[in-house]
Amino acid sequence: MSDAELITLTSPSSTVIFDTSDNNLVIKYWGAAIGVYGADLKAATTDPIAHSGFDLPLASGVIREHSRGFLGHPTISGHRNGQAWSTLFSLTKIEQSEGALSVYLADLKANLHLILNYHLNEFGILKVDANLTNTGSDSYNLAAFTHWLPLPDRANEVMDFTGRWSRERHPQRTAIRYGLTSREIREGRTGHDYTIAQLALAGDTKFAQGEVWGLSLAWSGNSIHHVERLANGVTSIGAGELLEPGEIILQPGQNYEVPPVIANYSDQGFDGLSDNYYRWLRARPNHPTNIRPRPITLNVWEAIDFDHDDQKIKEIVDAAAEVGVERFVLDDGWFNLRRNDQAGLGDWVVDKSVWPNGLGSIIKYINDKGMEFGLWFEGEMVNPDSDLYRAHPEWILHEAGRTPPLARHQQVLDITHPGAFEHVLGQVDAVLSEYNIAYIKWDHNRVLVDAGHLGQAAAHNQTAAIYRLFAELKKRHPELEIESCASGGARIDLGIIDYVDRFWTSDNNDALERQTIQRWTGLAIPPELLGTHIGPRPGNQNRRTTEINFRAITALFGHAGIEWDITRATPAELDVIKSWIALYKRKRGLLHSGKAIRVDHPDQNSYIYGVVAQDKSEALFAIAARDMSESTFPAMARIPGLDPVRIYRVSAISDAGNGKTMQRGYPAWMQILNGVTLSGAELAQIGLRPPILAPENAILIQISSAQ
């Protein structure tokens, strides 16, 4: 570009422009792609001189320093025993390559050196990471490091996500007001209430339209997300690790690797944002679908609880094999003393009172039926009633002289302690080495409270330790897959995603609740990484009973599975499960590679969503009635995302069962043998008249090219 001191990173969908003048680094712009540049962008964007303001235009830069006249939240906050509390960083070096910019800054008075790395990939994802080094002769106490990016004046709303156990990731949306809007997580893991992305919106942003600026923290511990609008109108979005007092004290020469942020811009609504996330994650060499199709999974927790009866489990195995299950997971209760949730955590050895000959026999039985075997662990926790705790009560996260309150009868094992880390790694590795285990479900069932190690806050190091543990397990067992579970969906984030192959989306398998939980978890996480299971009737969490059709269709759009004692299913239900599994196996290539579409539907009582193949040759959509329609005839179901000039064959399919209706006859298109033919434009702009579905029922629509 023409301005000599401006540097640009650009992708097909977004651009970032940096200003490197005045020995400073300023982000002038982050948003839609700009392909043509004039000569005077700096002049066009320079602030006027206001009454009662500074005498010259000031640019605070990415560090947002008080010393440069910035009056909002800074990027860096810290001190050296009360000194060096204010910084003034200057540029020392800039390195640019295709799609990447590395910026070196130093404050010679505060004795700090900072490297900022910006990488904008072809999918429009901007990754920002940083490394802060103490170059002084005494310690530096870092209080906060928050990554910030600018927002345009037209960004007028903020949306984030809130939740609790069994009701994760529900959106909340409000106007951006003057001051600071913040979301904090202090439980040592990302949590049920974690905002998987904080979004700034311009105008009437919906799934298919409008501008969205998203910021996600790639970290699994404590976090903070901000949107700030200052009195001068400057608006910005920020995220970073939330540090406890004294948690990061840099000794001379030490550095802090700042957890990165993932910035994502779309001018095509929420679905455009999701498409950027999905294409980026799917391009990773270790992305699960780049290795093999996602196997249909059955977990027995809601089937047997702690009752590990060999004969009963074999009955479930037989039923699972009959319907086409590909992975069978033995959950909690297999290890020492684990007859309930009050004992055993920490002792990862097979309980010989339940499995006198070990797990070899049941694993062989499962393998002989054509299924992989998976096993549950909760390696970051310990029960007081365990051999481990009796031997090492000091191996818990705690402050000296006191013990944190119990939660679920357990404490958090301090895996920052070398002995505790090696204990967990050694015992888990021993089990994985002895048996043919393809997959582990790794749980994390309580929050961190008073999480100290030798008198210092330890949540940061605890998070880093679980990353190391997972990496080492995969190094020793290269074919191993790991599911991240934390009381359901309390550790789903863009940090741990590089260490695991699947997330347990929620402990709540109720299809009605799952419709919303999966809808918004899928904003950032592609469906092949989200465990979506058919649950029992009634549901274990809220005791609601829903039709098998509704449960099956809800579970189809993810990494599908079963969480149910299917030996209790009726013959009709088993027929649906078998047909549904066959459908999943036929369509998982589409489900796990296509573009996700969530329709902006006028009737909020129904969700319409689906997946369109990247070449637009086929699609699979669901219409899910969460409640009764607002009108006698349900609103037309538009199906966007297909090729407008191509002709498609469209039909309702019953592979996941038949949804119940409140009508005397189906719409005409559903009664025509082999379906109807419509153009992509007709489907997007006019749509299909749905049947009058009863609440908590759904239909599937199959679409394929007729040309």
Q: What CATH number does the domain containing 73 carry?
A: 2.70.98.60
Active site residue 507: yes
Identify the helix (H) or strand (E) that includes residue 215. Answer: strand 211-217
Is it the case that residue 355 has pLDDT exceeding 70? yes
In a domain, 623, yes or no: yes
Q: Residue 73: its pLDDT value, please?
A: 96
- Residue 401: other Cβ atoms inside 10 A: 5
Look at residue 2 and tell me whether its pLDDT is greater than 90: no
Measure the CA–CA gap between 677 and 668, rounded to whole angstroms. Answer: 13
**How many residues belong to the chain?**
707
Distance separating alpha carbons of residues 98 and 101, to the nearest angstrom: 8
DSSP H/E element including 164: strand 155-164
Check which CATH number belongs to the domain holding 639 and give it: 2.60.40.1180
pLDDT digits (tens, 9 = 90+) for 627-665: 999 899 999 999 999 999 999 999 999 999 999 999 999
Q: Which domain does 232 fall in, by range?
A: 6-38+57-282
Instruction: Tell me if residue 385 is catalytic.
Output: no
Q: What percent of the chain shows pLDDT beyond 90? A: 97
Average pLDDT over residues 455-464: 98
Placement of tokens 């939330």 in the chain: 242
pLDDT tens across 296-354, in order? 999 999 999 999 999 999 999 999 999 999 999 999 999 999 999 999 999 999 999 99
Q: How many helical (H) and strand (E) elements, i.e. helices and strands, does the chain have?
A: 13, 36
For 669-702, what is each residue's pLDDT tens digit?
999 999 999 999 999 999 999 999 999 999 999 9
Q: What is the mean pLDDT of residues 195-201?
A: 97
- Percent of the chain at pLDDT > 70 equals 99
**Rounded distance between C-alpha atoms, residue 278 and residue 271, angstroms:** 10
Q: Which residues of 79-118 are buried (b: 16+ CB within 10 A; e: fewer)?
A: ebeeebeebebebeeeeeeeeebebbbbbeebbbbbbbeb
pLDDT (mean) for 132-151: 98
Helical H segments across 525-620, by residue range: 548-556, 571-591
Domain membership flag for residue 643: yes
The answer to the question of residue 231 being in a domain is yes
Q: Last residue of some domain: 251, 282, 313?
A: 282
Q: Which of 282, 308, 341 is the last residue of a domain?
A: 282
Whether residue 399 is contained in a domain is answered as no
Out of 443, 493, 501, 603, the active site residue is 443
The catalytic residue among 493, 507, 510, 603 is 507
Q: Is residue 165 part of a domain?
A: yes
3-state secondary structure of 127: strand
Judge whether 414 lies within some domain.
no
> 348 exposed, middle or buried (CB, 10 Å; 0-12, 13-18, 19+)?
buried
Query: Residue 65 above 50 pLDDT?
Result: yes
44 lies in some domain: no
Give the pLDDT score at 344: 98
Mean pLDDT across the chain: 97
Higher-pLDDT residue of 203, 663: 663
Model confidence pTM above 0.95: yes
Residues contacting 133, CB < 8 A, separation 6+: 112, 113, 114, 250, 253, 254, 255, 256
The stretch 591-602 carries a mean pLDDT of: 98
Residue 111 has pLDDT above 80, yes or no: yes
Query: Is residue 591 predicted with pLDDT exceeding 80?
Result: yes
**Residue pair 658/666 in contact by the 8 Å Cβ criterion:** no
Count of the separate structural domains present in the chain: 2
Whether residue 18 is contained in a domain is answered as yes
335, β-bridge pairs:
350
pLDDT tens digit sequence for 602-626:
999 999 999 999 999 999 999 999 9
| Residues 6+ positions from 582 with CB-CB distance below 8 Å | 324, 655
Q: How high is the pLDDT of residue 607?
A: 98
Domain closes at, from 260, 282, 304:
282
Say what the pLDDT of residue 1 is: 46
